[in-house]
Structure 1
Amino acid sequence: MSALFRPAPPLGVRILSTAQALPARVVSTAEVAALCGVPAELAQKRSGVRERRWLSEGETALSLGAQAAREALAQAGLPPEQVDVLLNASGSQLQPIPDGAALFARELGLRGAATYSLHGTCLSFLVALQHAALLIHTQQARHVLIVSSEGGSLGLNPAQPESTLLIGDGAAAVLLGPAERPGQGLHAARIETYPEGADHTRIRGGGTLLMPQNPRAEHRDFTFDMQGLQVLKLASRVVPGFLERLRPGLSTGLPGIDRVIPHQASQAGLDLLRRYGWPAERVEVTLPTLGNVIAASVPLTLHQALRAGRLGVGETALLVGTGAGLIAGGVILEV
């Protein structure tokens, strides 16, 4: 089985800065549970989420993404005109056209930079990180800005408590540049797709297969639909082999890994990591306070680990997860 690519390690790349932007509104699980008509205590236990952020008046995924991007540029002291490539790595799209990256570029005042989206559902950031590393390592770009921004709360269906209790909104931005030292950068990357899971997580409407004016279209076709148990069963079967192909030994331990930055899919998904012999103290978790922020989950969790000093310069992180499709993805990055 082939991967997206297998780099001859490492691809020299460095994180120059990270930033986050979260909605002002904090929504408790009790509030969401009432919306779904389920007991609050049971909802929190099963979802693993105490609270999440949801967009409120005056906020959009566009405004949050632009805010995070501006902060990342400011932290690095980099003027916007020095961004060579802006990658939109978001699971929930702002609109069909123009591409969301062009909208972020307009907000930031970027003119003449390359801007486009890389869409791998919940793993969009991992796909963008791999792509950015290739661009920088081959000197096709010097500075690449990745923006992941999500407004998934706008497409939830309270009749599906399983997903409604999980999803949160937010944005993260990561600015990348050339490596400073030998060994710094991307040591491994892999993407695998198992399309038998394509219908387990989906939003059916909005594309050419089911347009809003289609007489067969229903409101629920434009909301998030997830069969969590089916996703978990498929992931439990395919992920161990995927991990071994990413780096031998990962399905039973953490060889050469200092910190795990997982996609915050669900409590059940995080619990699954214990099967691989990964110590809980080396796994970064944001699910209880942010929920599942779709493609922004991984960069938000990476930002938290870097900001708190749980991942530092010279250490190696495993960024890993699954997304709709079903896609399994992982990146091993020396910071």
Structure 2
Amino acid sequence: MPHASEPCSSAGILGCGHSLPTAIRHNDDPVFNRLPRDPGSSDTFDTVSFFTGSQERRHLSDGETIEPHMADAALQALAQAGIGPESVDRLYGYASVPDHTTPNSLYRVHHMLGLPREALVVPINSEFSNFLASLVLATEAVATGGARHVLIACGSNWTRHLDYAKGHAFAAGDAAAAAVVGPTGLLRVVDHLSQTHSDQYLGLTMSVRSVDIDGHAHLPLDARGLPTPVYSMEAAGSEIYQKLLLNGLPDLVNQLLARNAVHSSQVSLITHQGSRRLLDHWANTIRPGAYLESLRDLGNMTLATYPVNLARHFTSITTPYVVLAAVGAGFHLTALLLENHTRAEAAEAALSAP
């Protein structure tokens, strides 16, 4: 049964997992026929030319939902961590976009996994830094003895919540991923920084709104015939791009590294991946030892981007540190520094743990 544990100074990630829909959407998919492709408008968020870099992206098929993928990813993470669902004290994360305003579908994942009734479920709605925020809270819970094992599960079904006359829809992909935080973890949170630019509160929004198709306004409906939320970057102007996306994110990462005396060459970097232009700029500005990304093959998985790429490389990371750097609605930036401990060290610590 879940219960409080002894404080643990070496709390970290014990295991990861990810799950992808099987359906693949290529750049010539008919769904993209309405997208503007004017190269003269390449600096705006409304054209495909800004969101280049993807050749494939996964998407949910008709009748498919993201929650089973979240559960599958969670089972992989639990298996890699060497524990069962009965050992989970808390479940953090988020399913986006949920079927209901509340409750979040994370509760459905709790049921699908058969987690204990005593396991605390905490949906973290901080698009797109949900995984990062969950990881900070999970580490603190384990480190202070509030929990022994915390499961984090994040899933994105955003391909169903986009206006396909807007450029940002071009890179979108669906995915889910999970991680288990516990004592003697392989990746341990060292530090984190966040900035909130609330003057850009309306820059990125998800709400019920009409979309224009052939000059006529249509209200998108889901399979139940109910209005479905649609993402918008209508209000996102040059300030968000130039100050916060293009330069704000690398500035935050470099601040985080400097205050921890970590050189960028010691870091494997995972960032938001909406555009090849941004990824290339961030790579040149931060100059990490490794850049763990999958834009070409998986597109922009929004909140699932960070845990998916972490899960794909979890057992093969060779740098001493990992940095997760997120952008998100609100508007905010978050960067998280993790220290990479070898499996041998983790196993040795586990043997000596009470």
The answer to whether 1:142 aligns with 2:140 is no
Residue identity matched to 1:143: H
Decide whether aligned partners of structure 1 residues 219 and 57 sit closer, same or farther in structure 2, where only a CA change above 3 A counts. closer
TM-score, scaled to structure 1: 0.82
Decide whether aligned partners of structure 1 residues 255 and 25 sit closer, same or farther in structure 2, where only a CA change above 3 A counts. closer
Question: Counterpart of 1:270?
Answer: 279
44-53 or 109-118: bigger deviation: 44-53
- C-alpha distance in structure 1 between counterparts of 2:81 and 2:34, whole Å: 43
CA contact (8 A) 2:50 2:277 kept: no
Unaligned runs of 5+ in 1: 1-9, 211-216
Instruction: Give secondary structure in 2 for the equivalent of 1:185.
Output: strand
Residue identity matched to 1:66: A
Instruction: Give secondary structure in 1 for the equivalent of 2:142.
Output: helix
Question: Counterpart of 1:112?
Answer: 118
Q: Output one character per residue of 1:171-216: Cα deviation in whole Å (capped at 9) or x when no partner.
A: 00111111269xx62111122111232222211339xxx9xxxxxx
Question: Counterpart of 2:229?
Answer: 222
CA contact (8 A) 2:91 2:120 kept: yes
Residue identity matched to 2:241: L
Larger Cα-atom Rg:
2
45-54 or 104-113: bigger deviation: 45-54
Per the TM alignment, residue 257 of structure 1 is displaced from its structure 2 partner at its CA by: 3.1
Partner residue of 1:315 out of 301, 316, 320 = 320
Per the TM alignment, residue 55 of structure 1 is displaced from its structure 2 partner at its CA by: 0.3
Decide whether aligned partners of structure 1 residues 180 and 291 sit closer, same or farther in structure 2, where only a CA change above 3 A counts. closer
- C-alpha distance in structure 2 between counterparts of 1:257 and 1:94, whole Å: 41
- C-alpha distance in structure 1 between counterparts of 2:50 and 2:302, whole Å: 20
The answer to whether 1:80 aligns with 2:96 is no
Question: Counterpart of 1:67?
Answer: 72
Partner residue of 2:311 out of 284, 298, 303 = 303
Partner residue of 1:186 out of 182, 189, 209 = 189
Q: Output one character per residue of 1:53-111: Cα deviation in whole Å (capped at 9) or x when no partner.
A: 01003421111111111222223331111000011234433422223322111111112
Decide whether aligned partners of structure 1 residues 75 and 291 sit closer, same or farther in structure 2, where only a CA change above 3 A counts. same
Decide whether aligned partners of structure 1 residues 257 and 282 sit closer, same or farther in structure 2, where only a CA change above 3 A counts. same
RMSD, matched Cα:
3.0
- C-alpha distance in structure 1 between counterparts of 2:9 and 2:124, whole Å: 19
Per the TM alignment, residue 255 of structure 1 is displaced from its structure 2 partner at its CA by: 4.0
CA contact (8 A) 1:263 1:322 kept: yes
Q: Output one character per residue of 1:225-283: Cα deviation in whole Å (capped at 9) or x when no partner.
A: 12566332231353354334423279xx944733111122322221221342415x611
Unaligned runs of 5+ in 2: 1-7, 40-46, 211-216, 221-227, 341-354
Question: Counterpart of 2:296?
Answer: 288
TM-score, scaled to structure 2: 0.78
Per the TM alignment, residue 17 of structure 1 is displaced from its structure 2 partner at its CA by: 1.1
Instruction: Give secondary structure in 2 for the equivalent of 1:60.
Output: coil
Alignment of 1:52-63 (within 5 A): 52-63=57-68
Alignment of 1:226-241 (within 5 A): 226-227=233-234, 230=238, 231-235=240-244, 236-241=246-251
The answer to whether 1:125 aligns with 2:143 is no
Question: Counterpart of 1:248?
Answer: 258
Provide the aligned length of Structure 1 versus Structure 2: 308
- C-alpha distance in structure 2 between counterparts of 1:53 and 1:65, whole Å: 15
